[in-house]
Structure 1
Amino acid sequence: MNLFFAVVGFVLLLLSLGVAFYLITARRYQSANSVANSYDQWTEDGILEFYWGEHIHLGHYGLPPQRKDFLTAKADFVHEMVRWGGLDKLPPGTTLLDVGCGIGGSSRILARDYGFAVTGITISPQQVERAQQLTSAELDVKFLVDDAMALSFPDASFNVVWSIEAGPHMPDKAIFAKELMRVLKPGGVMVMADWNQRDDRQKPLNFWEKPVMQQLLDQWSHPAFSSIEGFAELLEATGLVEGEVTTADWTQQTLPSWLDSIWQGVARPEGLVRFGLSGLIKSLREVPTLLLMRLAFGTGLCRFGMFRALRANSPK
């Protein structure tokens, strides 16, 4: 009996230490630099790329969702987003800005499979360097360090503005919306995919949703999530949108990604050999956040939002 209590006590101690480590090492948003530093670190150690591939975003599993290879689902997401946004009807040479391009996975598909002239921007210098390493010279793609809150491009620079899962890092969603639309040419299209919170104006967060949401913000350098409804309103409030913003909810199509991302650590044990004990610890510390993401998106606290907006010919 004494041995039983000793084992239970030891397990509880380990759990307590694990929770404390998880909370103490949170990557809370402080500024654009904290976001850049987080992505620099994730890119330098190579763990994220090893398990998530060249696409640092969720996958598309269809509706209803079907079993699919994790990395294949990510590439499929890009093609589904192209079709949903109507970009497959645009001619080769169309200029496209990929906002929050990561290490360039989407940018390369857009250039290779659709013939677009792509400029990818990220706030992380390490991501730009890695994206350049992974991109062949024959593709019409270039990568730059730039801040989506203050894009360095003139007004009306691109036919298309594209963004996947960059919005949660933006501290002022209204400024972000304005920048996305500002750099579009008249008649151009903005297509965006994002992690969103439920609209708490309609249904406030309850007692357990508030701490879960706080961890989703704190762990991955997010100042805030917008709601699908709220960000659509911000886009229309720029006065640069022709008609109404089109939105869709892709939560179910992308939901398997969270558990699939954890399963990668089991299905690909060679990562333990490649990255060693420190890599194992770094990987394990992300598991609680991935599980919280699955909980949030599975219960309706979070939603995966899709946005499409046309640039008006003249400001309203």
Structure 2
Amino acid sequence: MITNLFIILFIVGSLIISLILLNDRKYVSSRSVSSAYDSWTNDRLLENLWGEHIHLGYYPNYSKKVDFRQAKIDFVHQLINWSGLDKLPRGSRVIDVGCGIGGSSRILAKDYGFDVLGITISSKQVERAKQLTSKELTCDFQVMDAIDLKFKNGSFDGVWSVEAGPHILHKQLYADEMLRILRPGGVLAVADWNKKGDDKKTNFIEKIVMKQLLNQWSHPEFSTIESFRANLLNSSFSSSKVYTEDWTDFTIDSWHDSIYEGMRRPDVMFKLGPQSFIKGLREIPTILLMRWAFGSGLMQFGVFKTRG
């Protein structure tokens, strides 16, 4: 009962903040996603608080604290190793679908010697990614829609995509496009936020929470781990088994840490000014709802790997 009251309070808080400050960022089209990320990139709040990686971190022993920014770097290496991307030879061509400001792309290029192309729907993210990337790295960035990749079949040795799927309406097309551009024998690695498997067991409060998680961060829908695995298997470009794991336990500490970073780095708020402080406050209710959703089983953190 106390837990439900806690959730309701944060739902109400989130709604009030959204009404006072701005309308919610409900998904309308790919343009609404682009606009949201352009705004987040321009104000530099996330970059200054969380570093160059916007995705969650990996905590191998979740009873022991790990530096938040280091956990994000560790996550990239864990997914590379788990998926088998690290077995590709140096010089392999890899695409980062939904690259953000290029954090993962730079690790793929610098530490593994890959020729990396990062794509995102946000022109501001591309601009910032290029600014942050050394010219010595074999790493470039382009504006492109994940469901309309401008490449021939089999163009890449590896396909990498982290936390991009929730922003994409057509999940099957998203899977199809990634597999289409993957060469035979190439490696696909995906990590995403996923809803729990059985919608029929979602109660009234959970439905309200889920609506907030979709609307506040421009998500049209979440896949389940099982449904996105089926998207990969059912693709006409699929030629291999699809392996999945649930990494919720290894990533869940990221949600509280993403808030604590504001306390650890108060200088960021002073540097960016009061408007960024208000924007940061706006995100806290949604982050807390995310933490509750992943902790209660309403959401899961799924990872996927397959071969072309």
- TM-score (norm. length: structure 2): 0.93
- Partner of 1:143 in structure 2? 141
In 2: Cα distance, 1:49 partner to 1:59 partner: 15
Point out 4+ residue stretches in structure 1 off by more than 3 angstroms. Answer: 15-19
Contact 1:216–1:292 (8 Å) recurs in 2: yes
1:28-107 residue pairs with structure 2 within 5 A? 28-107=26-105
Query: Percent of pairs identical after alignment?
Result: 53
Contact 1:164–1:192 (8 Å) recurs in 2: yes
Q: Of 220, 233, 236, which aligns to 1:223? A: 220
In 2: Cα distance, 1:18 partner to 1:148 partner: 30
CA RMSD across the alignment: 1.5
In 1: Cα distance, 2:120 partner to 2:63 partner: 30
Corresponding position: 1:274 with 2:271: yes
- Partner of 1:256 in structure 2? 253
- Partner of 1:11 in structure 2? none
- Partner of 2:7 in structure 1? none
Q: Of 128, 131, 134, which aligns to 1:133? A: 131
In 2: Cα distance, 1:237 partner to 1:16 partner: 40
CA deviations 1:155-175 (Å, max 9, x no partner) are: 111000000000000001111
The code of the aligned residue for 1:253 comes to F
CA deviations 1:11-60 (Å, max 9, x no partner) are: xxxx9787423255210000111000000000001001011110010000
- The runs of 5 or more residues in structure 2 that have no matched partner are 1-10
The code of the aligned residue for 1:217 comes to L
In 1: Cα distance, 2:130 partner to 2:76 partner: 19
- Per the TM alignment, residue 63 of structure 1 is displaced from its structure 2 partner at its CA by 4.1
Specify the structure having the higher radius of gyration (Cα).
1
Contact 1:65–1:253 (8 Å) recurs in 2: no
Contact 2:196–2:297 (8 Å) recurs in 1: yes
Larger relative contact order (Cα-Cα within 8 Å, sequence gap ≥ 6): 2
- TM-score (norm. length: structure 1): 0.91
Q: Of 96, 120, 123, which aligns to 2:121? A: 123
The code of the aligned residue for 2:231 comes to L
SS of 1:38's equivalent?
A: helix
Distance 1:17 1:214, change over 3 A: closer
Q: Of 225, 230, 250, which aligns to 1:233? A: 230
- Partner of 1:6 in structure 2? none
Distance 1:277 1:109, change over 3 A: same
SS of 2:55's equivalent?
A: coil
1:149-168 residue pairs with structure 2 within 5 A? 149-168=147-166
Q: Of 198, 201, 205, which aligns to 1:200? A: 198
